[in-house]
Amino acid sequence: MDFYQTDLSQLHADLVNKKISATELTKETFDHIEANDDQVKAFLTMNKEAALKKAAEVDAAGIQDDQLTAGVPLAVKDNILTKGLRTTAASKILENFNPVYDATVIEKLNANNFINVGKTNLDEFAMGSSTENSAFFTTHNPWDLTRVPGGSSGGSAAAVAAGDVLGALGTDTGGSIRMPASFNGVVGMKPTYGRVSRWGIIAFGSSFDQVGWLTRTVKDNALLTAMISGNDPHDMTSSVKEVPDWAAQLNDDTNVKGLRIAVPKEYFEGINDDVHDVIKAALDHLESLGAIVDEVSLPHTKYGVPAYYILASSEASSNLQRYDGIRYGFRAKDVKNIEDVYVRSRTEGFGEEVKRRIMLGTFSLSAGFYDAYFNKAAKVRRLMAQDFDNVFKDHDVIVGATGATPAFKIGAEIDDPQTMYMNDVLTVPVNMAGLPAMSVPAGFSAKNGMPVGLQIIGKAFDEQTVYNTGYVFEQTTDVHKKAPKLGGQN
Amino acid sequence: MASKITEQQVKHVAELAKLEFPEDELGKFTTQLGNIIDMFEDLTQVDTDNVEPMTSATDRVNVMREDKAVKSSKEETDALLKNAPDTDDGYIRVPAIIDESEDGE
């Protein structure tokens, strides 16, 4: 099965009409993964045995027309709990952790009989922009194996780009779905904060974390996101708002005529020339289709990175207190007393970046520094949210680049945390305000042929307009049809 | 603005966070942390007088549920205990709270 030649709706029709069985499809999927994952290294854990068993059950029961993902192989980022299937968050501290329950998003997918092929690599606890912070290995970008896939959902993005699966679940705290989507030439949507339950997601920054999909097409994304959305009594921040059938409204009539697009001038400051050219061409294209493109200002954009790293690290330092070596996870050997268990287990179990964030967070919250750092950043967060409100008073979407650069070389930035953090300058503002935003493939760098993503930001709970805009762009260009040639020059 | 954080402060914060940094890494780590905190200082340029802090993007408040205990099955308890580093007869074992090696000192 060539996933670049089909989509979810087509695959579902093929399964219902018995053109292919779930078992055949699952076997072919594993053949494909086994042939290329030595190079890409997208997966931390394969779920082959259970996946084939599930596929056989699905075949035996017959595939219902109303179960869109029945028998469809999909992948799951390894910070999302899967009952009985090892879930590590790419951390040594959870290396042997087997969840006793499923995340709500997995429960919803199970109810639709999806096939979980395995768990994808990430930066440890989703903290990073390259997967180089994984405690186990770095994932390679299928477009150029010497480059990073972005992060933190780099394994999920690389698996989709490599044609392993049609979709993979990711999480986005400060850009962790959109940035790897941009680096890998795939679609990545971070829904509105509260749209998708966070129950069973290994917590990083609870007021920012949101689950979403990396897919090849916009329509697949809309279909799959609808499946995991909705209120969940287990997550008090999950919204009670009705979940629209976004995909149903994407059709041949969808257009951008009269769409009011805001382009923040700050989103062009400091971006690479090759990214600039692709984004400029994409905006010209949307304008030629009848969209009204306006330059606007989001004046607090440049404060997003410092404010985000204070707030998200503070939340992380609190969330990660639970890793104490007592009830689950790694416990250091030869410890003499309880204090030793805590300190040595955490010191030996966490990687460098995670420790750095815990330290930044603990510092920002500590006596004497709380007002200057945490509280100040929380006020800046309010101003950033107000910037968006002001622009959305007379615009429908905000459009710009997802990342300031295409995928960088493995090893290029890992020793320089500050430079690494600055990769997030165009993605964190959205998480600060809780808005929905999607990266869609916009084109390729004239310098190195790497994919460049267009970021489309919507009003809270207006995923529809974001999907519409992305869909029109996708359907009127050929960018998404190009597949990477693994190991070869693109 | 020069970095405000010292090695002494890094040690103090590490103690709060239950982490330890070996002496030979402390210098490098302090410098890295200092550079990031210098970046945080950019926020002093923003006028935040009369701005309310924002700590969440949700508009939901005080979501209540019934206060009801849920009983776990034996299977669930066993699965939970399997994740524990050290167990004994249905309990999680931990080292003594008091450092016994200090008794004779």
pLDDT tens column, A316-327: 999 999 999 999
Q: Which residues of A346-362 are buried (b: 16+ CB within 10 A; e: fewer)?
A: bbebbbebbbbbbbbbb
pLDDT above 60: residue A261: yes
**Out of A41, A54, A77, A108, which one is annotated catalytic?**
A77
Q: How far does A366 lie from chain B, in Å, by closest CA?
A: 8
CB B58 within 8 A of CB A302: no
Instruction: Give the residue, A414 or A298, on which the prediction is more confident.
Output: A298
Mutate which: A98, A198, A362, vs B, most B CBs within 10 A: A362
Pairing status of strand A260-264 against strand A292-296: parallel
Summarize the confidence of residues A261-275 as an average pLDDT. Answer: 95
Summarize the confidence of residues A426-437 as an average pLDDT. Answer: 98
Residues 351-390 of A with CB under 8 A from B: 355-356, 358-360, 362-364, 366, 373, 375-383, 385
Summarize the confidence of residues A191-218 as an average pLDDT. Answer: 98
Q: Known catalytic residue: A152?
A: yes
Domains in chain A, start-ordered, CATH in brackets? 3-254+466-481 (3.90.1300.10)
CB distance A236–B46 less than 8 Å?
no
Q: Known catalytic residue: A176?
A: yes
Q: Hey, is the C-beta of B19 within 8 angstroms of any chain A C-beta?
A: yes
pLDDT band at residue A133 under the 50/70/90 scheme: very high
CB distance B53–A379 less than 8 Å?
yes
Please tell me the pTM assigned to this model: 0.96
pLDDT above 80: residue A112: yes
Check residue B100 and give its pLDDT: 59
Residues 297-316 of A with CB under 8 A from B: 300, 302-303, 305-307, 309-311
Q: Known catalytic residue: A241?
A: no
Q: Hey, is the C-beta of B90 within 8 angstroms of any chain A C-beta?
A: no
Q: What is the mean pLDDT of chain A?
A: 96
Q: Hey, is the C-beta of B61 within 8 angstroms of any chain A C-beta?
A: no
Mutate which: B12, B56, B92, vs A, most A CBs within 10 A: B56
Which residues, including other chains, have CB under 8 Å from residue A281's CB and lie 6 or more apart?
A: A442, A443
Instruction: Give the residue, B21 or A415, on which the prediction is more confident.
Output: B21
Instruction: Give the residue, A223 or A420, on which the prediction is more confident.
Output: A223
Check residue B1 and give its pLDDT: 41
Residues 407-426 of A with CB under 8 A from B: 417-418, 421
Check residue A487 and give its pLDDT: 59
CB A100 within 8 A of CB B79: yes
- Please tell me the distance from the alpha carbon of residue A28 to that of residue A11, in angstroms, as a whole number: 13
Range name among A247-256, A283-292, B55-64 with the lowest pLDDT average: B55-64
pLDDT band at residue A437 under the 50/70/90 scheme: very high
pLDDT band at residue A221 under the 50/70/90 scheme: very high
Spans of chain B below 70 pLDDT: 1-3, 99-105
Token digits of residue A442: 């916009």
Predicted complex ipTM exceeds 0.90: yes
> Which pLDDT tens digit goes with each residue over A54-105?
999 999 999 989 999 999 999 999 999 999 999 999 999 999 999 999 999 9
> Which pLDDT tens digit goes with each residue over A336-395?
899 999 999 999 999 999 999 999 999 999 999 999 999 999 999 999 999 999 999 999
